[in-house]
Every structure is written in C-alpha cells, then in structure tokens.
Amino acid sequence: MKKVLFVCHGNVCRSAMAQAIFNQLIKQRHLENEVLVDSAATSTEEIGNPPHPEVRKILDNLDISYQGQSARQIESSDFIKYDLIIGMDYENIKNLLHWCPKDQAHKIHLCLDIMEGQKGDAIADPWYTGNFDLTYSQINAAMPKWLDYVLNL
C-alpha cells in the first residue's frame, strides 16, 4: 500500500482540503486497498480541531467527505511511515526537511511542483488571504497528478 501525507501549518485548511480531495479520488478510482492518505500540521496551534468552517463549506457543497478529520502535528514516525510527504509552501518544506531524517528527505515535495509551469509555487494560504476558492482550485488541480505519481512509485 502506498501512503501519502499532506502537510501545512495548522492542518485545518490546505492539507485538510488536500486529504479530503485525494481521498475522494482514491474512492472514485476504487484504490482504497492501494493508497492511504492522511494530513498533518507543522504547528500545534489547531491540534484536535476539524477542518476550517470555510473548508467544510466548500467540501460540503461538492459532496466531498472530511469525516473523521482533525488536526494533528506531524510525528517523527511519519517520515518512515509515508512514501510521499507533500507540503503546501516553502515554510512547510523547510520545517519538514529540518525534522526529517536525512535518508527520508527524498519523500518531501512541494505540492504545486507536480503542475506544469508551477514548479516552486506555493498553495495560497486562505488563513491569511481569505480566498478559499483559490486554494481549492489549486489543490483540486494538483490532486489527480499526485495520485498518478503515487501509483507509479
């Protein structure tokens, strides 16, 4: 089974949204026995909280489940457990590389690096921009490409 972890600062906006969308793609493609997805935070600020209300609103409108999701902080064991760790911005990547064992650093990627012409771009943080629709659009475009990538690992 391939295991994917999405990471952002608080795990209530971007990584929570990515987890929900990715999980929906897994179910649509009947890959539940092949791919596992989770999400985590680099901070402790939102631990235990559900996805942000605006994230829930978008996902509810699109009938995308986020059931059972609550924010958690990344743990050292995650670097061994997951095959792919996808950060939403450079701050996430910097923190992940700082905590990650050197022999696991190859697993860490910036989310939009999978997109043609967007290498090096960050997923907009709606916590600060308020633009949850832009964040959804960016994440939604990247998720099918990440799933294809994971299936070819």
What percent of the residues of the chain are helix, what percent strand, and what percent coil, each to the nearest 5?
A: 45, 15, 40
Phi, psi (degrees; rounded to nearest 5) at 131: -95, 80
Catalytically active residues, by annotation: 8, 14, 125
Rounded CA-CA distance 7/89 in Å is 9
Nearest to 111 by CA among 2, 23, 19: 19
3-state SS of 30-47?
Answer: CCCCCEEEEEEECCCCCC
Sheet of 84-87: strand order equals 35-41, 2-8, 84-87, 108-110
Domains of the chain, each with CATH number or no CATH: 2-151 (3.40.50.2300)
List Cα–Cα distances, 103 to 80, 95, 108, in angstroms.
10, 16, 11
Distance, CA of 84 to CA of 146 (rounded, Å):
10
Positions of the chain with pLDDT under 70: none
Q: What pLDDT, on the 0 to 100 scale, is given for residue 96?
A: 97
What is the DSSP annotation of 81-111?
Answer: H-SEEEESSHHHHHHHHHHS-GGGGGGEEEG
User: d(Cα 60, Cα 51) in Å, to the nearest integer?
Assistant: 12
